Structure 1
Amino acid sequence: METFESVGSPALWGGFIAFVIAMLALDLGVFHRKAHVVKFKEALGWSVVWISMALLFNVGVWWKFGAEPGMQFLTGYLIEKSLSVDNIFVFVVIFSALRIPALYQHRVLFWGILSALVLRAIMIFAGVAMLERFHWLIYVFGGFLILTGVKLFLQRNKDEHPEDGWMMRFARRSIPSTNTFDGHHFFTKENGRWLATPLFMALLLVEASDVIFALDSIPAIFAVTRDPFIVFTSNIFAILGLRSMFFLLAGAVEKFSYLKVGLSGVLVFVGAKMALVDFVKIPPALSLVVIAAMLGASIVASLIKSRKAPPSQEALKRELTEASEA
């Protein structure tokens, strides 16, 4: 049975968890105490804050524990951050399909991501425990990531319809609900009965999609490191910045047409690295370069394509609306 050493002492674990709780309380209790539409400038500012915090934490890991853990954190953060972009595509579809007003989207994402933090922690520690006890699972995880990467590539142009999935059908049958909004509330009372509003249904889909994506992202980071502290912190930093990244990129997801190709390449690469871990040793620095190159190439190719392509109907509508308002 393998034993995985962790660089995180109890004090570091406690300090990091306290930091996360404080930041979430500051977010909801101060900056988003009142519901408002998150504009591009605000989303950009928060994105810079979260990325800067993650990089500053990375510097601390590098300084205290050395280059290898520092490189592992940075690679893991990049993997988690890039795979979380795929969540944004799904979130856009969920909010559009359920007609969630922009005013309340931050509230849904906040509580959805808060639940995701707890679920990710459980899945990470369960994964570490399983790999410690059953080494052969490393090959299963590796093969799963390769298959997921291939599937993502083959279905890269497929439209997502989470609102028509089995979970939403089950929720609508088992949870009394209404199509009427009641401000920012997840439940409302009609004719003496408590009913779930569309905000709660959107929350269910956001949480379900995060669990599904976690099945890809958590095994992916195990290909880089199995240090629980590095896995947990890089994962959490990526999730904490997901809300601001959603509001930053939600209006431009159609421009990243090749991003899923890059993500599929990353999944295949880390899956192969995991499956071959006992035969081929790939240095953390090389992993970081390969992953960054794949993602960078897919983003650049997407931007080039979007600049050459004629504007879509949605883009034309936005331009006409902005012109009329001006």
Structure 2
Amino acid sequence: MNIPTWVWLVTIAGFGLVLAVDFYLVARNPRKPTFRECVFWVVFYVSLAIAFGIGLLVVTGPSHGGEFFAGWITEYSLSVDNLFVFLLIMSRFSVPDRYRQKVLLIGIVLALVMRGAFIAAGAEAVTRFDWLFYIFGAFLIYTAWKLVGHEEEEAEFSENIALRTVRRVVPTTETYHGSSLSAMVNGRRAVTPMLIVMVAIGTTDLLFALDSIPAIFGLTKEPYLVFTANAFALMGLRQLFFLIGGLLDRLVYLSKGLSVVLAFIGVKLIFEALHHDGVSWAPEIPILVSLGVIVGTLAVTTVASLVKSRNDRRRAPAGENDSAEDPATGPSGSPDPADPATKRSEAHADG
């Protein structure tokens, strides 16, 4: 797949334009979006991704089009799982509701820029070192096992090294100053928690990319498809956060489903590496089979999660379902170790 430079530039400019319009709308009226707005924007971004994929099918053929859809669905599903941790970070830093849109949008832009650099490095590496696919495959299988293995363990959000460095090097305020990233305190310029939480979301997403980027390289070797699938998966994540925030705690089997997907892609990577090295019995798994496994696993996982959540609510004592606590926090407002978000954070922190 030979992509001219001008196509790359137009694609990046298109993503930049959409994000710029999104940022303008958020900055003009900072508030918690309505349900109707969230539905509109999520449908808009999903429609953009589908239209782009159909365009690839027409222009480049079913192989590359199928690789894009498989990669986008995988990355989008992993991004939804990441919302667990975003919710936890928001609660950890007590971000006011009206500013959560801005925090998410800036964090997503930071994540997209860092992922772009990560993808460029990864694409160059895999073209030079075929043995990396063995490492990628083994890492994905290990990550899949880790997601299941931490099912019963307690966890809490822990600041990564980038966030600790910012706190140590840069003076910070204790309170928010509107949506400002910095403020004057005692005649000294200091950054506010608004900037800290943006760094937290952006760098935490980069940690998630350690399994999502190898996963999509297991579905396609084309850097253009890897980048666009990641970009479409991240765009609209802000609205999705508000749209399904109340449903996140009901997707109890999402991590299990993603572990199956990651393990499958890991095995697929190893088989392809073996096949490339001349091992006759190692099969090449077609992209349509991969797409079917991914979609089927996520569909079963979602339905099973919703059924279990509904049954649990029916069995719960009267009044228990009426508690108005944040899904990611306990009664005191501190992270709840039983919440899926904390388990997701611990699984990545250990990696």
TM-score (norm 2): 0.85
* 1:131-150 equivalences in 2 (<5 Å): 131-150=126-145
Aligned residue in 1 for 2:69: 74
Aligned residue in 2 for 1:207: 202
Matched, 1:194 2:189: yes
Q: Provide the rounded CA distance (Å) in 1 between the counterparts of 2:155 and 2:208.
A: 14
* 1:99-114 equivalences in 2 (<5 Å): 99-114=94-109
Question: 1:189 is paired with a residue of what secondary structure?
Answer: strand
Question: 1:217 is paired with a residue of what secondary structure?
Answer: helix
Matched, 1:247 2:242: yes
Aligned residue in 1 for 2:296: 293
Unpaired runs of at least 5, structure 2: 276-281, 326-351
Matched, 1:117 2:112: yes
Q: Provide the rounded CA distance (Å) in 2 between the counterparts of 1:250 and 1:194.
A: 35
Aligned residue in 2 for 1:324: none
2:322 corresponds, among 294, 310, 316, to 316
Change in 2 beyond 3 A, CA 1:143/1:36? same
**Is the 8 Å Cα contact of residues 77 and 237 (structure 1) preserved in structure 2?**
yes
Aligned residue in 2 for 1:257: 252
Q: Provide the rounded CA distance (Å) in 2 between the counterparts of 1:135 and 1:259.
A: 32
Q: Provide the rounded CA distance (Å) in 2 between the counterparts of 1:73 and 1:46.
A: 21
Which stretch has the larger CA shift, 173-182 or 20-29?
173-182
Q: Provide the rounded CA distance (Å) in 1 between the counterparts of 2:153 and 2:180.
A: 33
Aligned residue in 1 for 2:332: none
Q: Provide the rounded CA distance (Å) in 1 between the counterparts of 2:73 and 2:295.
A: 8
Report the CA distance between 1:31 and its aligned residue: 5.5
* 1:60-99 equivalences in 2 (<5 Å): 60-99=55-94
Please tell me the residue identity of whatever aligns with 1:309: D
2:169 corresponds, among 149, 171, 174, to 174
Report the CA distance between 1:23 and its aligned residue: 0.5
Aligned residue in 1 for 2:284: 281
Q: Provide the rounded CA distance (Å) in 1 between the counterparts of 2:77 and 2:152.
A: 18
Matched, 1:13 2:16: no
Aligned residue in 2 for 1:161: 156
Q: Provide the rounded CA distance (Å) in 2 between the counterparts of 1:239 and 1:169.
A: 25
Aligned residue in 2 for 1:306: 309
Q: Provide the rounded CA distance (Å) in 2 between the counterparts of 1:112 and 1:47.
A: 18
Question: 1:219 is paired with a residue of what secondary structure?
Answer: helix
Report the CA distance between 1:95 and its aligned residue: 0.5
Aligned residue in 2 for 1:323: none
**Is the 8 Å Cα contact of residues 7 and 229 (structure 1) preserved in structure 2?**
no
**Is the 8 Å Cα contact of residues 218 and 265 (structure 2) preserved in structure 1?**
yes
Change in 2 beyond 3 A, CA 1:9/1:159? farther
1:43 corresponds, among 38, 41, 63, to 38
Please tell me the residue identity of whatever aligns with 2:290: S
Please tell me the residue identity of whatever aligns with 2:40: G
Question: 2:167 is paired with a residue of what secondary structure?
Answer: helix
Q: Provide the rounded CA distance (Å) in 2 between the counterparts of 1:196 and 1:165.
A: 18
Report the CA distance between 1:184 and its aligned residue: 0.5
TM-score (norm 1): 0.91
Please tell me the residue identity of whatever aligns with 1:290: V
Report the CA distance between 1:241 and its aligned residue: 2.1
**Is the 8 Å Cα contact of residues 250 and 305 (structure 2) preserved in structure 1?**
yes
Report the CA distance between 1:111 and its aligned residue: 1.0
Report the CA distance between 1:11 and its aligned residue: 2.6
Matched, 1:34 2:37: no
2:49 corresponds, among 38, 44, 54, to 54
Alignment: residue pair count: 314
Q: Deviations over 1:163-185 (max 9, x none)?
A: 55555444433332122110001
**Is the 8 Å Cα contact of residues 140 and 262 (structure 2) preserved in structure 1?**
yes
Question: 2:183 is paired with a residue of what secondary structure?
Answer: strand
Please tell me the residue identity of whatever aligns with 1:299: T
**Is the 8 Å Cα contact of residues 26 and 102 (structure 2) preserved in structure 1?**
no
Please tell me the residue identity of whatever aligns with 1:20: F
Q: Provide the rounded CA distance (Å) in 2 between the counterparts of 1:9 and 1:56.
A: 20
Aligned residue in 2 for 1:3: none
Q: Percent identity?
A: 39
**Is the 8 Å Cα contact of residues 50 and 240 (structure 1) preserved in structure 2?**
yes
